[in-house]
Amino acid sequence: MLDSATIDVIARAYDAAEKGRHRIRPPSIQYEGFTVDDAYAVQRRWVALKVAAGNEIKGHKIGLTSRAMQRQANIDEPDYGSLLADMFYSGGAEIPMSRFIQPRLECELGFVIGRRLAGPNCTIFDVLSATDYIVPAAEIVDGRTHRVDPDTGKPRCVLDSIADNAGNAALIIGGRPFKPMDVDLRWVSVLCHRNNVIEESGVAAAVLNHPANGVAWLANKLAPFDIALEPGQFILGGSFTGVVEARLGDVFHIDYGPLGTITSRFV
- The domains of the chain, with CATH numbers, are 57-266 (3.90.850.10)
| Each residue's pLDDT tens digit, 233-264 | 999 999 999 999 999 999 999 999 999 999 99
In the chain, which residues have pLDDT < 50? none
User: Of 128, 103, 132, 145, whose CA–CA distance to 17 is shortest?
Assistant: 145
The pairing of strands 197-203 and 189-194 is antiparallel
- Say what the pTM is: 0.94
pLDDT confidence of residue 68: 57
Specify the 3-state DSSP secondary structure of 76: coil
120, exposed or middle or buried, with CB in 10 Å at 0-12, 13-18, 19+? exposed
pLDDT at site 29: 96
Query: Rounded to an integer, what distance in angstroms lies between the CA atom of residue 235 and that of residue 163?
Result: 19
Residue type (1 letter), 185: L
Please write the tens of the pLDDT for every residue from 82-106: 999 999 999 999 999 999 999 999 9
